[in-house]
Structure 1
Amino acid sequence: MAPLPESSDNESHSFLGRLSTQEQLELTEILDNYLQQLEDGLRPSRTQILDGHPALADVLELYLDKLDQLYRVSEVAPSRTDLRGKILGDFQLECEIGRGGMGIVFAAQNVRLNRKVAVKLLPMAALLDDKHVERFKNEARAAAVLEHPNIVPVYAIGEEGGIHFFAMRLIDGSSLDRRVAEHQAAGTKPPTVAALRQFAAIADALHNAHEYGIVHRDIKPSNLLLDRNGKLWVADFGLARCQADRAITRTGEMIGTMRYMSPEQASGRTELVDHTTDIYSLGATLYEFLTLRPAIEGQEGPSLLTRIMSQPPVRLRKLRSDCPLDLQTVVEKAMAINKGDRYSTAAEFANDLRNVAEGNPITARPVSVAVRLARWTVAHSVGFATATILLLIAAIGLVTSNLLILHERDRANSFVTDSRAAVEELSMVADDLAAIPGAEQIRRTVLQTTLKYYERYTEQSLENSSLRADTANAYTKIGAILEELGKPAEAVTQYQSAEAIYAALHEREPDSVRYQILRNRNLNHLGLALATTGQTFVAIETLREAVERQESLGSEETTSLALAVNNYGLALQKGHRREAAKQEYQKAIGLLTQARRDAPEDQEIARGLAAAFQNFGALIGKDKPEEAVSYLKQALEIQLWLAHQVDNRLRVSRDLISTYLNLGNIHLENSHFKLAIDNFRDAALLGQKLVDISPEVASYRRDLAISLSNLGMSQYQDGDAKSAYDALEESETHYRELLKEHPANVGLRSSLGIALNNQAIVLQHLGKSQDAESAYVEAAEVLEAAQLAEPSTAHVNALERVYVNHARLLYAAGKEQQAAAIVERQIALKDANTHE
């Protein structure tokens, strides 16, 4: 379908602004059909068109006039022979030697200097489009300022008789796309070494352009010219952009030739396009020249753009086994999906191409299987229940957890035996059991036995501060286990019991640093548990107190301070105080970064820094996705290191799942559905392993349910409704089982409601309207109950989405009265929330 023609005045834009999205699509289709008939030599009836679309008549008049004008100009435009002999400035045109979307190229004679040149003209029809005129001038200006032996030089720029033109060097040869076609016809392959030297020269030329702030943006075989001496030239800067001036390209406009676009061009995000785009396109062009097939194959259209954004090309040596392994490495680096993984400059690319040609070592490193998988996932709550990691961690983290889980399960029995040895060792054994898969209930029993021991002796000796501190510490540990088992409200009670003891101890021994450290640790646990149970304001105040108390201990406790600051940021984020949360996360990152420099092997510091990176990345994901991914990747790097260091791999595995989910969110937000699918699928795989090992741990099952729900919605957005339904159904099952065990948990109830909404959307798409309606009804009931138990904006927003989706389904089914009743409920909910 053709895009809407642009108008040079403001009248058509004002009309368009008043049209709905559906009306704009209808207008586009009408104009597309009209233009097609004109091009086929037909005379469509304007009267019939206008009478048939009275609501669009005004804007149609404007655009039909424009198309008629364009058609009339093309009818009277000079033929190829008409322009022979025509003089434009110092140049006499001879014969046409090339034609493309941006201009017509003639061989010409410079009558003043008596030399052959090439003259490029802007087609007269293109004069109707100011954008084409500007791009034509842009090409001339860009090429004119560049001086490089492999860039086709521009000699003169002018306009005469309404014809825009510029003169450039005439290259005696042909474009690379013709050379590719010749090799295909002959069944031959281009010589590798010669090609590498030629492409190295082009990379140098592009680096020269980049140094001037000019990005070509349309590197492809037809824009590279090979002369009779074997020298390769880069031409056609029509789509070039100066980094300091982005006015020619509007946001969302797709620039470049589709098959050779970089992933960021394919996504339509022009603000991400920089010099690395040219590196990618040159790599794709080299790949095609060597293999005689496109780097990314497929018919031009949305599916090709999706493949460019998510899939690397078939490995070079599978198609050209005679190519050096280093060349494959170089091409893969140039064509990395993540622009940050490409060569940082075209000059570096050029150097490695020469290194391969000369048999010297390259700077690029071969890409391992794990890293190749990781790059598939890097390129990012979007109306569904979404919560976000690199495949690098999936590939390695999953293997690590498999080996570790088997190893540590074998150790479980010995720990249980040790725990029975003597009551004095129970507390120590409970700590050891934290690393054992499936030992949660045993650990809880051990700690409760320990607690009874402390309480009994404390009653006998109220003056023994050490015993009282041990009792408080046991309360803290039991609270932590209760949280793992999905009982945060019960955990709060345990933490509060511990706080009461610590407060009394502080009154008695205010200078005891040990008691202050233990108290601050408990306050951190208490604050996070309060936030989990929805007591956000109290959580913020509790964690603020933890930070202040930690600061009073001085520089010796920097790590603990940073962890407290990070937790305080979490509470602020839950309380929708985003800017304040950002400041706390950044403060934590600063403190922990310095602490890790001082103690690089300290695992507690490393895990804390990873958590701060992850929290900050998740917070800024919607506003600054690229920066967010950068922080999440730093978290992953640390977590991967920890996966090989720590004894408690279960805890690290949960951290990894969380990072998977955060990255998947960012990809889903930015419509990188296949990348999101990879993230969520790996989160689900790792989550399933944890559930298989420790089915009693509610947090593991909830992580799995979230991962499956996110996976399902990503698959739905990617067009795979059947797989989406399977994942969502499994997610729903986990939520229902959790709610049976924890019926008072409002968070679980809310998550089930959102999962049901997501499931209804997919059911509706699959044509199962009755099932979808039932799912919407239950989703509303579940979320209404959650809102009643714990009012929140999140519940209101989720409930509104359910109402709107349900009403649309009912309207589509002809049940207007029922739909109207749902809309009334949605309006009432919105009004009530606004008044609050």
Structure 2
Amino acid sequence: MQDLSVTDLSLEPVMTRHLTAAQKERLAVLLDDYLTRLEQGTPPSVEDLVTDDPELLEPLRSYINGLEELHQVAAGFTPRQDLTREADDCDSSTTILGDFRLIEEVGRGGMGVVYRAEQISLDRTVAIKLLPFAAVLDARQITRFKHEAQAAAQLHHPCIVPVYTVGTDRGVNYYAMQFIDGESFSEWIEARRQNNQFPDVEHCIDDVIQIAGALHAAHETGVVHRDIKPSNLMRGHDGKVWVTDFGLARCQSEATMTRTGDIVGTMKYMSPEQARGESAIVDGRTDVYSLGVTLYEMLCLRPAFDGGEMPVVLRQIEEHHPRPMRSIREDIPKAVATVIDKAMSKARDDRYDTALQFADDLRRAIAGQPTIARAPTQLDRIAHWALARKRGVAAGAAVLLTLLVVLAISTGLIASAKRDSDHHALLAKQSSQLARNTVDELGAKMAELLADIPEAESVRRQLLQETLAYYEKFAAQVGDDPTLMQDLAVTYGKIGSLQNEIGASEQAIRALEQSRRLLEELVGNAPGNMDLRHQLATSENNLALALDRAGQYQAAEEHFVAAISLGESLIKSSPDEANWRTGLSLALSNYALLLGKTHRIEESESMLKQSLVMMGDSEDGNNEDNEKLQRQIASTYQNLSGLLADQSPEKSIEYAQEALRYQMDAFRENQSDAGLASQVALTLNSLGAAQAAAGDGEGAVLSYQQAADIQQQLHFLQPNALTHQRDLAVTQNNLGLALASLGNYFAANEAFNQALQFQQTLAAEFKHDAEIQSTLGGIYNNQGFVQEKLNDSSSALLSYRKAVEHQQLAHQTAGEVPKYREYLSKHYFNCARLLRDDGQTDESIKFTLRRRELWENDGSRLAGVADEFLATASVIKLGEASGRSVDVSSTDCIDYAKQTLRSAIDHGFQAPSEFFDRPEYLDLRPNTSLEGI
């Protein structure tokens, strides 16, 4: 019986188990060197490779012999022009893999060998990619090969080579894809290099624009190619261009497989982050870089970087710029050279954000229109030079800074706790009676005083409720007295803000809207009163914050814009008024956070920087509010850090460090300030996120642990403060993710348990708070992933089910927030996948159907759901063959797939013609009757 399982192939080969970690890393480098030179047609001898490492001779020889054994699968195959007749004469058992008959080798590389083959059942020509025998292969190679098939199979674009099937036969892993009859770009470049014939500029750019479109489609689904180079790009004899070999692709929604320090991909085309082995920060901009390097070589017929030995090339990529294109070819337009230079920028943030932007700028350059790219100034060159040489100093400073932060805060909090405990306890006891008897005199001011007192949270809530009731009664008796209306408006504003803080979103919005309405009426009656206008701006900002928290982003944006407009008019009338500048800065920062949530990163960063400029202009050593201003500056730096953690980890780390410096300056003045300590912990969280994105998993774990230490102390001092519980849940969740990325799954599972302990309490109290429910769902999902890694599938399935339960609540409460739908879709997918793997296909289909409902108007998503149905149908067929009883047959499941694909096409999914070569989809081919589907 044919063995189709690949689950045992991740076991480490016997010949490497005795090697140290350093020897294994060295062996990987030697093998990579061999494979790269093999691909270039100049393979070295094993003895030459191990001159400096004689102890690695036998392991390396075993690996290389394994590569050669691969060719024995097809009895004596060697690359030839025409082997069809000879292959027919061979023993069929040695030339057949599963449903495929191998015909001739057409290419080889570091991840295997490619053959032209015949698919017997469909009588069609395909390309088969083979991986060498598992017995002599590194587990990471097998994992990458399997991931290549997974990544490529989910992509559907006219310029991406489609994958048909994946399998294993006699220990050989393979997958089948469409056969492209043509030549690779590397062959095309070499032919012109030999003839010293530069290609047409516009023709090359047209090819790259098409490739960029294919890469953009892949990036939109979360897949990064990571190995774009001329040999992975092809042109068919019909002139069509293709992207192939997603051998290093990574799905960004999953944990990275490549460990920090691994260097994969062909060196000359690597981005600087790949050359440094920083796989965790690789994203679509990496592909943009490699495509820019490829276009450079197409136009100039020489590589951008070609230093020969690996260390030289890596240094060139990181520190040097390639020779200017126009010094090689004067006919290349300046605009084209500038666009390519931008795509090849050393810093990811300086490149195009997407492959589509790169393509659009190329079009503009050829058309003679203004481009986004600009020629670098001397200042740019100096900045880039400094950036390449500062990392070592910055890393040491970061560790020292965070250690000093935690030591100072821990000492200050412990010292102040005993000093203030007796006074705070007495005040908390007196507060309840005070609230009942003097609410009409103290009102919201007393609630503000209680906010920082341990064990006074319950009294504070009661006071808020009584204050609100009193002022609602008061509001009915106010009449037209402008003075009382202003007091009432201010009080509604304070009550609304406090309600928003404790999670009572609906009540907060009502109170803040009432405050805004009253102030708007007052300003209408006295348009020249600048103080009233300032209060209205503050009210607009606070209402926007409440709407933001409730997931009503569009309404929130309208009120942020109103707050900023009012603030700008105030500054225009009186530029030196510090309070007005501070208020405008705060509104800018808050609006920037909303822009970040809606993925408008550049706008968000720009607005946060405007906020910093505004606050910098407000700084005054004699200003009694200067301490508050310093805290706001620190908060803005922390927001910048959080915003850029994924997009630009290096910048994010710098911003977090700057925030910590401001916060520590303030903390030295008041070491018992719990609010400031809480802000420091949040900044450490942002620092951890940036470190994780930069591939520094151990640094991230340290930052998260330091944040948790601070928050645990705050929770001990104020056990009823919900903000500390919320912050602890977030930190423990982040810590769990960082530990999981390092493979420390037991510790990660414990961190998620700690996070759940706090988040479950919040979710039980605030059932209709979308963000709290969504966060709880996310923690359950993360724990499910770790439980799978610990081989505890039953617990993982339970966690995924709970993730669905809470994410559904979030989506139902705030349906306009896109991320809740995204998260819910992932939870549905995980449930369906685990149930399918366990043979529970009927229930698996239920979750897939729910996922289909989420994306009923999204063609691309629906096409992915159709593939899920087909995967489930395959499992059902195996069960049917063994006599298992199911409610939904494989035929029914295939019908679901067809219905879903039909809907996908109706909603804009453009399936390539070969997509319909799948047996299940043959009757869906265009111009074929779809009746009965």
What is the TM-score with the length of structure 2 in the denominator? 0.50
After superposition, give the CA deviation of every residue in 1:741-795 in whole Å (9 maximum; x if it has no partner).
1111111221111111111111111121111122222322332343233233212
Say if 1:756 and 1:775, in contact at 8 Å, map to a contact too: yes
How far apart, in 2, do the equivalents of 1:475 and 1:65 lie? 69
**Counterpart check, 1:502 vs 2:514:** no
Say if 1:408 and 1:436, in contact at 8 Å, map to a contact too: no
Judging changes above 3 Å, is the alpha-carbon distance between structure 1 residues 455 and 631 closer, same or farther for their aligned structure 2 residues? same
Aligned residue for 2:592? 569
Give the counterpart of 2:614 among 578, 587, 591.
591
How far apart, in 2, do the equivalents of 1:724 and 1:269 lie? 39
1:486 Cα deviation from its structure 2 partner:
2.1
Say if 1:451 and 1:471, in contact at 8 Å, map to a contact too: no
1:638 Cα deviation from its structure 2 partner:
1.1
> Structure 2: which 5+ residue stretches go unaligned?
1-26, 42-48, 75-94, 114-274, 277-302, 322-387, 860-906, 909-933
Aligned residue for 1:670? 694
Judging changes above 3 Å, is the alpha-carbon distance between structure 1 residues 8 and 681 closer, same or farther for their aligned structure 2 residues? closer
After superposition, give the CA deviation of every residue in 1:645-677 in whole Å (9 maximum; x if it has no partner).
359823223322221221111122223221111
Aligned residue for 1:797? 822
Aligned residue for 2:360? none
Say if 2:769 and 2:810, in contact at 8 Å, map to a contact too: no
Say if 1:377 and 1:679, in contact at 8 Å, map to a contact too: no
How far apart, in 1, do the equivalents of 2:66 and 2:482 lie? 97
**Counterpart check, 1:623 vs 2:647:** yes
Single out whichever of 533-542 and 617-626 deviates more from structure 2: 617-626
The structure with more radius of gyration: 1
How far apart, in 2, do the equivalents of 1:431 and 1:45 lie? 72
Give the counterpart of 2:407 among 395, 403, 412.
395
Give the counterpart of 1:247 among 305, 328, 340.
305
Say if 1:435 and 1:648, in contact at 8 Å, map to a contact too: no
Judging changes above 3 Å, is the alpha-carbon distance between structure 1 residues 449 and 402 closer, same or farther for their aligned structure 2 residues? same
How far apart, in 1, do the equivalents of 2:525 and 2:838 lie? 72
1:441 Cα deviation from its structure 2 partner:
3.4
Aligned residue for 1:199? none
Alignment of 1:20-31 (within 5 A): none
Say if 1:705 and 1:732, in contact at 8 Å, map to a contact too: yes
Alignment of 1:92-103 (within 5 A): none
**Counterpart check, 1:640 vs 2:664:** yes
**Counterpart check, 1:50 vs 2:71:** yes
Judging changes above 3 Å, is the alpha-carbon distance between structure 1 residues 550 and 823 closer, same or farther for their aligned structure 2 residues? same
Single out whichever of 464-473 and 534-543 deviates more from structure 2: 464-473
**Counterpart check, 1:433 vs 2:462:** no
Alignment of 1:796-815 (within 5 A): 796-810=821-835, 812-813=837-838
Say if 2:496 and 2:512, in contact at 8 Å, map to a contact too: yes
Judging changes above 3 Å, is the alpha-carbon distance between structure 1 residues 377 and 762 closer, same or farther for their aligned structure 2 residues? farther
Give the counterpart of 2:498 among 481, 496, 499.
481
Task: Kindly provide the amino acid, as one letter, of the partner of residue 699 in structure 2.
Answer: L
Judging changes above 3 Å, is the alpha-carbon distance between structure 1 residues 377 and 528 closer, same or farther for their aligned structure 2 residues? farther
1:553 is paired with a residue whose SS is helix
How far apart, in 2, do the equivalents of 1:494 and 1:663 lie? 36
Give the counterpart of 2:786 among 762, 776, 781.
762
Aligned residue for 1:330? none
Aligned residue for 2:552? 535
How far apart, in 2, do the equivalents of 1:750 and 1:65 lie? 43
How far apart, in 2, do the equivalents of 1:448 and 1:404 lie? 31
How far apart, in 1, do the equivalents of 2:452 and 2:511 lie? 22
How far apart, in 2, do the equivalents of 1:732 and 1:460 lie? 47
Say if 1:537 and 1:575, in contact at 8 Å, map to a contact too: no
Q: RMSD of the TM alignment (CA)?
A: 4.6
Say if 1:411 and 1:436, in contact at 8 Å, map to a contact too: no
**Counterpart check, 1:609 vs 2:633:** yes
How far apart, in 1, do the equivalents of 2:800 and 2:523 lie? 54
Say if 1:448 and 1:478, in contact at 8 Å, map to a contact too: no
Judging changes above 3 Å, is the alpha-carbon distance between structure 1 residues 515 and 788 closer, same or farther for their aligned structure 2 residues? same
Aligned residue for 2:336? none
After superposition, give the CA deviation of every residue in 1:567-605 in whole Å (9 maximum; x if it has no partner).
121222233322222221111011112222565771121
How far apart, in 1, do the equivalents of 2:494 and 2:63 lie? 83
Alignment identity in percent? 24
Judging changes above 3 Å, is the alpha-carbon distance between structure 1 residues 827 and 645 closer, same or farther for their aligned structure 2 residues? same
Alignment of 1:420-459 (within 5 A): 423-450=440-467, 459=476
Say if 2:509 and 2:546, in contact at 8 Å, map to a contact too: yes
Aligned residue for 1:311? none
**Counterpart check, 1:721 vs 2:738:** no
How far apart, in 1, do the equivalents of 2:319 and 2:312 lie? 12
Judging changes above 3 Å, is the alpha-carbon distance between structure 1 residues 469 and 680 closer, same or farther for their aligned structure 2 residues? same
1:417 Cα deviation from its structure 2 partner:
4.4
How far apart, in 2, do the equivalents of 1:584 and 1:700 lie? 29
Judging changes above 3 Å, is the alpha-carbon distance between structure 1 residues 246 and 634 closer, same or farther for their aligned structure 2 residues? farther
Say if 1:435 and 1:647, in contact at 8 Å, map to a contact too: no
How far apart, in 1, do the equivalents of 2:62 and 2:593 lie? 66
Judging changes above 3 Å, is the alpha-carbon distance between structure 1 residues 246 and 417 closer, same or farther for their aligned structure 2 residues? farther
Say if 1:486 and 1:697, in contact at 8 Å, map to a contact too: no
How far apart, in 2, do the equivalents of 1:65 and 1:679 lie? 41
Give the counterpart of 1:680 among 691, 704, 714.
704
How far apart, in 2, do the equivalents of 1:682 and 1:46 lie? 48
Q: Size of the alignment, in residue pairs?
A: 533
Give the counterpart of 1:749 among 773, 790, 796.
773
How far apart, in 1, do the equivalents of 2:483 and 2:757 lie? 47
Judging changes above 3 Å, is the alpha-carbon distance between structure 1 residues 711 and 9 closer, same or farther for their aligned structure 2 residues? closer
Aligned residue for 1:658? 682
Aligned residue for 2:354? none
How far apart, in 1, do the equivalents of 2:450 and 2:582 lie? 25
1:409 Cα deviation from its structure 2 partner:
4.0
Judging changes above 3 Å, is the alpha-carbon distance between structure 1 residues 605 and 270 closer, same or farther for their aligned structure 2 residues? farther
Alignment of 1:56-455 (within 5 A): 58=105, 247=305, 271=318, 340=390, 375-376=398-399, 390-412=402-424, 413-414=426-427, 417=430, 423-450=440-467
Say if 1:437 and 1:650, in contact at 8 Å, map to a contact too: no
1:682 Cα deviation from its structure 2 partner:
2.2
How far apart, in 2, do the equivalents of 1:449 and 1:44 lie? 82
Say if 2:505 and 2:549, in contact at 8 Å, map to a contact too: yes
Task: Kindly provide the amino acid, as one letter, of the partner of residue 678 in structure 2.
Answer: R
How far apart, in 1, do the equivalents of 2:110 and 2:421 lie? 73
1:58 is paired with a residue whose SS is strand
What is the TM-score with the length of structure 1 in the denominator? 0.56
How far apart, in 2, do the equivalents of 1:711 and 1:590 lie? 34
Say if 1:750 and 1:782, in contact at 8 Å, map to a contact too: yes
Give the counterpart of 1:518 among 518, 523, 535.
535
1:533 Cα deviation from its structure 2 partner:
0.3
Aligned residue for 1:702? 726
Task: Kindly provide the amino acid, as one letter, of the partner of residue 403 in structure 1.
Answer: A
After superposition, give the CA deviation of every residue in 1:613-634 in whole Å (9 maximum; x if it has no partner).
1112221222221111111111
Say if 1:254 and 1:270, in contact at 8 Å, map to a contact too: no
1:576 is paired with a residue whose SS is coil
After superposition, give the CA deviation of every residue in 1:49-108 in whole Å (9 maximum; x if it has no partner).
412487898378788999xxxxxxxxxxxxxxxxxxxxxxxxxxxxxxxxxxxxxxxxxx
Say if 2:453 and 2:718, in contact at 8 Å, map to a contact too: no
After superposition, give the CA deviation of every residue in 1:343-366 in whole Å (9 maximum; x if it has no partner).
69xxxxxxxxxxxxxxxxxxxxxx
Say if 1:677 and 1:715, in contact at 8 Å, map to a contact too: yes
Tell which has more relative contact order, 1 or 2 (C-alpha 8 A, sep 6+).
1
Task: Kindly provide the amino acid, as one letter, of the partner of residue 708 in structure 2.
Answer: A
Judging changes above 3 Å, is the alpha-carbon distance between structure 1 residues 629 and 339 closer, same or farther for their aligned structure 2 residues? farther
